[in-house]
A = this chain, B = another copy of it.
Amino acid sequence: MIITMKSTATLDEVSSVLARIRETGFEPHEDHGVTTVIGVRGDTSSLEEDFFFLPGVSRVQRVTSRFKEVSREFHPRSTVITVGGARIGGGKPVLIAGPGGVESERQLRETAAGVKAAGAQLLRGGAFKPRTSPYAFQGLGEEGLRLLQMVRQEFDLPIVTEITGPREVELFLRYQVDVFQVGARNMQNYDLLNELRQIDRPVLLKRAPSATIEEFLLAAEYLLHDKGGDRGNSQVILCERGVRNFETSYRNVLDLNAVAHIKNISHLPILADPSHSAGRAELVAPLARAAIACGADGLLVEVHHCPREARCDARQQLTPGQFADLVKEISPFVRP
């Protein structure tokens, strides 16, 4: 909520408004310019009418959305997050590729070699896989982290991998995970987000299958926001991976309307995951090109040295060769 005082407002009138704000449990931020503008962070929707009628108040505006730290209104400059040699949000699209799940040393090493050669700057791979069914392959767990750490060294590829619960943070730090991924189904797992607020590593936040843009950015706000003097984690990378709809010939429609809109209203970098959107290998490259042309800051692509042997998401993973082709295909779509 932004309260604009009249230019004729007295000091007493300003103090009254400030006191009123504090009484209701909110914290005002004053900006004294030609007129005094008072910003109030938080869900003030129930208060706006009350303030309008106070003496000295000229205007009361509901801030367009409820998010603050993630918005360009508060932080106009684009955020750039550096991981290894990659500047995510720095202008040049970043490529993060690797298998859906880490399955064996050989699989990981061959795939890492392939994506590195093709131009990927970071390696993704799931050690802890949240599966719809409790009977499906759940990932190699700590062994998977160990393998990721090993290829990280060998190929000089920073690692992006999904963390599924707050108690795993220690373990992930120990294995030198570079970027902590929050999966789509955990986007509103605030217990996990509150833990990741406190780490000094980038977080890749995936949009939930039917989260609104506001819910998505507010989930990011959990990571960024200050709590008193306790600063949040500003290294947040957003990721659009498709939203649920009625169509069954692909998995999730890639919401590039959201990518374009978020580039306008938020300073955070946003990647696209064409793999979980497509659900089928032959749609991955067209969606990748579209995302880059639209302005996404990079891609998260599933690549497997031998997709037909993959223990999950076999249908959508690319071979290293297909990934290399995709990389070539997108270069004309990188906006100047």
Contacts and interface: CB of A to CB of B under 8 A. Distances in A.
A189 to B, nearest CB: 5
Interface in A213-258: 213-215, 218, 221-222, 225, 242-250, 253-258
Contacts of A137: 43
16 contacts: A43-B133, A43-B136, A66-B132, A66-B135, A135-B225, A165-B166, A165-B191, A167-B191, A212-B246, A247-B257, A249-B261, A260-B282, A261-B283, A264-B282, A289-B335, A332-B332
Nearest to A286: B260
Interface string A106-144: 000000000000000000000000111111110000000
A263 B329 CA distance: 17
Interface residues of A, number: 75
Interface stretch (A10-18, A90-98, A146-154, A292-300): A292-300
A186 interface: yes
Contacts of A210: 209-210, 244, 246
Contacts of A287: 256-257, 260, 294
A277 interface: yes
A188 interface: yes
Given A42-B136, A166-B167, A166-B191, 8 more contacts: A66-B135, A67-B133, A130-B188, A210-B246, A250-B257, A256-B286, A256-B287, A289-B294
A225 B134 contact: yes
A293 B166 contact: no
A41 interface: yes
A248 B212 contact: yes
B257 A255 contact: no
Nearest to A69: B134
A212 B293 contact: no
Nearest to A332: B332
Contacts of A278: 257
A135 B43 contact: yes
